[in-house]
Amino acid sequence: MDISELISRSIGGYSIGSILSALLTFLICLIVVRLVMKLCARLLSRANRLNERLQKVILMSLKSLLYLLTIIITAEALGINTSSLTAVMSVLTLGITLAAEDILGNVAGGLVILFSHPFSLGDEIEVGGTTGTVREISLTHTK
Instruction: State the Cα–Cα distance between residues 78 and 98, nearest whole angstrom.
Output: 33
Residue 9 pLDDT grade (very low, low, confident, very high; cuts 50, 70, 90): low
Instruction: Output b/e per residue, 80-93; b: 16+ Cβ within 10 A.
Output: eeeeeeeeeeeeee
Instruction: State the Cα–Cα distance between residues 114 and 49, nearest whole angstrom.
Output: 8
Instruction: State the Cα–Cα distance between residues 128 and 123, nearest whole angstrom.
Output: 16
- Quick one: average pLDDT of 43-64? 80
Please check the confidence at residue 18 and state whether its pLDDT lies above 90: no
Instruction: Give yes or no for a contact between 137 and 121, defined as CB atoms under 8 angstroms apart.
Output: yes
Q: Which of 6-15, 19-28, 84-93 has the lowest mean pLDDT?
A: 6-15
User: What are the domain boundaries of the chain?
Assistant: 3-84, 100-143
